[in-house]
């Protein structure tokens, strides 16, 4: 059953689509050079999906972009989460590493793009570097905060039972910090997508950002919109997957369930 709320929402989306049609196709108030009509959008989407645009088909561009995001994201998790856990665990590590963080953190990930291109060129390596950078910071901060927020008695109880160090980390600290860690990973994933699109816009030979770039140069509004919608769908889908992984990993955490 769709409630009143659902009907209003549906009507709202339908009205927006209708408005789009009226402004572009029916009245021509918005010229096709500025924003595409629904038909143009559909044709562009069709073109890139079947015949390809900017050197490849949509699936190839999308696959390439998703691969880079996933790679950069995984490298960020593999480096950021352990570092955050360590900083949370050891006051000395925190004291030594925090000042370095204070210097690097205010620089937005996007500002690393020119340097990454200088160092690694226009290929995949530069993109993975900036994505890693973007996703790294939230991963570290949240893992750190996750450890610091663990109730002391839990750790003391485990210690009293003579739990060895590595089991303490793998079976007590990491699980207890994992809700916070996942919060960080969500932020990381979002940052990874933003950074990828920006990096591909600045320089790339394949990928969704490159499609956007070519469409901009060709003054092809239909394709620009097709690229933007693809970026949105990919971002949404990867966030959904992360949510599923979170629910799996945190199934034990009753408080975390919706």
Partner 1 sequence: MSHAPLRLGEKLAWGLLGLAGFIGLWTLLSVSGIVPRQFLPSPLDVLMRTLQLSSTPFAGATLPQHLASSLQRYALGVLLAAGIGVPLGLLMGWFRLLDDIVTPLFDGLRFIAPIAWVPFAALWFGTGIGGPVLIIFAGAFPPCLINAYRGARFVEPRLIEAARMLGTGHLRMILEILLPAATPSIVAGLRVSAGLGWQSLVGAELIVAAAGVGFMMVQAQANVATPTVMAGMAAIGIVGMLIDILLRQGEAWLRRRRGLEA
Rounded Cα–Cα distance for residues 115 and 128 (Å): 13
Q: Is 13 in the site for partner 1 (CB under 8 A)?
A: yes
Rounded Cα–Cα distance for residues 46 and 40 (Å): 10
Compute the least distance from the CB of residue 250 to partner 1, in Å.
22
User: For residue 174, what are its two tokens?
Assistant: 């990491």
Question: How many C-alpha atoms does 203 have within 13 Å on its Cβ side?
Answer: 16
Residue 94 burial (10 A CB sphere; 0-12, 13-18, 19+): middle
The nearer residue to partner 1, 14 or 59, going by C-beta atoms, is 14
Return the residue of 5, 51, 248, 257 that touches partner 1, per CB under 8 A.
5
Return the residue of 127, 212, 222, 246 that touches partner 1, per CB under 8 A.
212
The nearer residue to partner 1, 34 or 254, going by C-beta atoms, is 34
The nearer residue to partner 1, 104 or 205, going by C-beta atoms, is 104
Q: Is 100 in the site for partner 1 (CB under 8 A)?
A: yes
Q: Is 108 in the site for partner 1 (CB under 8 A)?
A: yes
Q: Is 46 in the site for partner 1 (CB under 8 A)?
A: no
Question: Which stretches within the chain are classed as H helix?
Answer: 4-21, 38-46, 58-89, 91-104, 113-120, 124-148, 152-160, 165-167, 174-202, 208-217, 221-249
Return the residue of 53, 73, 112, 136 that touches partner 1, per CB under 8 A.
112
Contact present, 67 and 245 (Cβ < 8 Å): no
User: For residue 50, what are its two tokens?
Assistant: 């079947």
Give me the residues that bind partner 1 (CB under 8 A), please: 5, 8-9, 11-13, 16, 33-35, 88-92, 95-100, 103-104, 106-115, 117-119, 147-148, 155, 190, 193-194, 197-198, 201-202, 212-213, 215-216, 219, 221, 224, 227-229, 231-233, 235-236, 239
């Amino acid at each position: 059953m769709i409630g009143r709320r659902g009907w209003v929402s549906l009507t709202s989306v339908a009205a927006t689509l209708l408005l789009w049609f009226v402004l572009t196709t029916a009245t021509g108030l918005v010229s096709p050079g500025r924003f595409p009509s629904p038909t143009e959008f559909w044709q562009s989407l069709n073109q890139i999906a079947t015949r390809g645009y900017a050197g490849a088909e949509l699936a190839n561009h999308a696959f390439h972009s998703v691969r880079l995001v996933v790679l950069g994201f995984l490298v960020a998790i593999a480096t950021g989460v352990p570092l955050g856990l360590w900083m949370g665990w050891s006051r000395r590590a925190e004291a030594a590493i925090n000042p370095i963080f204070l210097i690097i953190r205010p620089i937005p990930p996007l500002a690393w793009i020119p340097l990454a291109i200088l160092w690694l060129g226009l290929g995949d390596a530069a993109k993975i570097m900036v994505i890693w950078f973007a996703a790294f910071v939230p991963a570290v901060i949240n893992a750190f905060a996750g450890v610091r927020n663990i109730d002391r008695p839990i750790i003391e109880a485990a210690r009293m039972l003579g739990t060895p160090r590595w089991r303490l980390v793998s079976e007590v600290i990491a699980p207890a910090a994992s809700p916070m860690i996942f919060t960080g990973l969500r932020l990381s994933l979002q940052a990874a997508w933003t950074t990828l699109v920006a990096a591909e816009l600045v320089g790339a030979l394949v990928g969704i950002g490159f499609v956007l770039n070519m469409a901009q140069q060709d003054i092809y509004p239909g394709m620009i919109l097709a690229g933007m919608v693809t970026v949105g769908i990919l971002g949404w889908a990867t966030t959904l997957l992360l949510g599923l992984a979170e629910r799996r990993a945190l199934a034990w955490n009753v408080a975390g369930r919706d």
